[in-house]
């Protein structure tokens, strides 16, 4: 995976490796908390156009058992964090320190949408 402003390029089989794991939504989150769906996971190379001001990209994933994990990648570093349903969607402290509150609120909004 690499970031080439304004695109995030994900290599083949990096985010999806089977028919079941492709098609999950991918979101960009801006510093102001705007949540923008930029595509979906794919088995082949994917290029996601990120809106100006993107501070994180979130990949939604649901396991075979139905448990949700939000994989959060900070931009431009591409550091990965996991926000997992099985852990009450707790946001890691390091991620809280890296993102503005509006972006964290957007992550919480995604988690709550799953619970509805």
Residue found by looking up tokens 């960009």 in the block: 28
Domain count, the chain: 1
Tell me the pLDDT of the chain (116 aa) as tens digits: 999 999 999 999 999 988 898 999 999 999 999 999 999 999 999 999 999 999 999 999 999 999 999 999 999 999 999 999 999 999 999 999 999 999 999 999 999 887 76
Range of the domain at 38: 2-115
Residue (of 93, 105, 112) closest to 35 by Cα position: 105
- Alpha-carbon distance 66 to 80, whole Å? 21
The model carries a pTM of 0.95
Give bridge partners of residue 84 from the DSSP assignment.
Answer: 69
Q: What's the confidence (pLDDT) of residue 116?
A: 64
């Amino acid at each position: 995976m690499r970031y080439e402003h304004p695109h995030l390029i994900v290599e083949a089989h990096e985010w999806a490796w089977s028919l079941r794991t492709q098609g999950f939504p991918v979101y960009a989150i801006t510093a102001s908390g705007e949540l923008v769906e930029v595509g979906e996971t794919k088995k082949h190379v994917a290029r996601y156009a990120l809106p100006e001001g993107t501070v994180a990209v979130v990949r939604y994933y649901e396991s075979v058992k139905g448990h949700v994990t939000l994989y959060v990648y900070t931009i431009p570093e591409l550091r990965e964090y996991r926000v997992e349903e099985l852990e009450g969607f707790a946001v890691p402290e390091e991620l809280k320190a890296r993102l503005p509150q509006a972006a964290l609120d957007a992550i919480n909004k995604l988690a709550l949408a799953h619970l509805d």
